[in-house]
Structure 1
Amino acid sequence: MRYPGQVNDEVRRQELGSSRNVPAGQGGEGVTHQCDISLGSGIGGEHDRTPIDNRIGIKHIVNMIHNVDNTSLCRDVLSQLFLVTTLMSADMQRGLAERGLTQTRAQVLWVLGGAERMTQAELAAELKVTPRNVTTLIDALEETGFVRRTAHPTDRRAAVIVLTAKGQKSFARLQSETTEFAKLLFGNLSERDLKTLQGILHDVATKLTELAKETGGR
C-alpha cells in the first residue's frame, strides 16, 4: 500500500493497525513516498514479528511499493552506449588512418596476428564475410605491404596469407595500444565491477546478435 509523503501517522495507524515502517523512497515524479506494511496475522489481534526480509524479498517489496518504471533509465543507458561507441569508433578511425588502415583491414591484421597464417577461406569464415570480400581486403593489404600471399603446402588452388614485417609491426602496435587503452578505461575498477561490466556487455552483444539475425531473416 502506498501513501504520498507527509501522510498523518495517526491516519496510517487507523488504517493499518500495528505495522512496520518502510523507509521513504522517491517516486517517478520525484515525490517522496512513505509506506507502512502490516505484519498482522489476523488472529486475536496478535501480530507476526518475523522480519519482513525473511518472509518476502525486500527488493521485491520495494519494487512493488514504488512501482518502478525504468523505461527512462533504459533510454539513458542506451544514450550513453551510443556516445561511447561513437567516441571509440571515431578515435579508432583516426588512429588507423594515420597508419594507412581501416577498421576492417586492421581486423584482418588482428586475426592473422593471432593465427600467424590462414587461407582466404579461413579468413572469410573467421571474419564472417564472403570470400570475394576477403579477396578485396587481401589485395589492398598486399598492395600496401601489410600481408603477402604464399603457396599452400598441399592445395595448389589455395593461398596462405601471412603478415609481412610491416604487418607484424603493426599487429604488435595494435596489441600494445589495446592493452594500454584498456588499462586507461578500466584500470581503476575492481575485479568485481569488471566482471559485472563484462557480463552486462556480453548480454548486450548477445541481444544485438539475436536482433540482427531476426532482422536478417525477414
Structure 2
Amino acid sequence: MDQERELPLALRAAYMALHRCTEAKFASHGVTADQFVLLLALEETGTLTQRELADRISSDPSTVRAMLVLLEKNGFVRRASHPTDSRAKTVELTATGKRTLRKLWKVGQSIRDDMYGAITPKEAEILIRLLRLIPNSLSKEKTLV
C-alpha cells in the first residue's frame, strides 16, 4: 500500500461519509453539517469572536460569516459588537440555538454510534490525537506559500 496516496484518499472518504450522513439527518431540521459544527464549537466555548470561531472550526472567516448570517436569521446565534475591538463581532448561542443543538445531538447519535462501533475506544482516542497533528503540521505549509 502506498501510504502517501492512501492517506489523503482515506481522510477524504471518511470526511465525505460523515458529511453526507450528517447532511441527510439534519436536512429536515434546517441545519447543515457545517452549521452543526459551528453551533457545537460555540456551545463548547461560549462567546467567541467570529475570527476565533473560524479558527476553532478550521474554516475561513468569510465562510463562517455567511453561516452566521443564516444562523442569526433563524434565531440560533446572536452577534454583537466586541466590547474592546470595534472591528470584531462576538458570537454566542441563543436559547433557541442551545435547544436546537441538543435536538441535533440526539438526531446525530446513530452516526456517532456507527463510527464508534467501527473502532474501539482506545483506537478512537488514538485517531483523534493523530488527526489533530495534521492541521498543525500543514499550517507550516501556509506560512511558506
Shorter-chain TM-score bucket reads 0.5 to 0.7
Larger % of strand: which? 1
Q: Which runs of 5+ in 1 are unaligned?
A: 1-70
Deviation of the 1:116 alpha carbon: 2.3
Aligned twin of 2:112: 182
Q: 158, 162, 165: which is aligned to 2:88?
A: 158
Structure 2 equivalent of residue 198 of structure 1? 125
**CA root-mean-square deviation:** 3.7
* Structure 1 residue 83, shift from structure 2 partner: 5.6
Distance of 1:194 and 1:200 partners within structure 2:
10
Shift of the 108–200 alpha-carbon distance from structure 1 to 2, 3 Å rule, reads: closer
Alpha-carbon contact 2:22-2:111 (below 8 Å) kept: no
Pairwise mapping of residues 1-218 of structure 1 onto structure 2 (< 5 A)? 71=1, 84-179=14-109, 181-186=111-116, 193-200=120-127, 202-203=129-130, 206=133, 210=137
TM-fit CA distance, 1:95: 1.7
Q: Distance in 2 between matches of 1:118 and 1:76?
A: 36
Deviation of 1:198 (Å): 3.3
Shift of 1:111: 1.0
Supply the distance in 1 between the matched residues of 2:16 and 2:72 (Cα, whole angstroms): 30
Deviation digits for residues 111-161 of structure 1 (CA, Å, limit 9, x no counterpart): 111122212222123233343333222212112222122343444443321
Q: Using a 3 Å threshold, how does the CA distance of structure 1 residues 112 and 77 change in structure 2: closer, same or farther?
A: closer
Q: Secondary structure at the match of 2:75?
A: coil
Question: Equivalents in 2 of 1:134, 1:80: separation in Å?
Answer: 26
Q: What's the TM-score, normalizing by structure 2?
A: 0.68
Distance 1:216 1:103, change over 3 A: farther
TM-score, structure 1 as length reference: 0.49
- In structure 2, do the counterparts of structure 1 residues 111 and 76 end up closer, same or farther at CA, with 3 Å as the change threshold? closer
| Structure with bigger gyration radius | 1
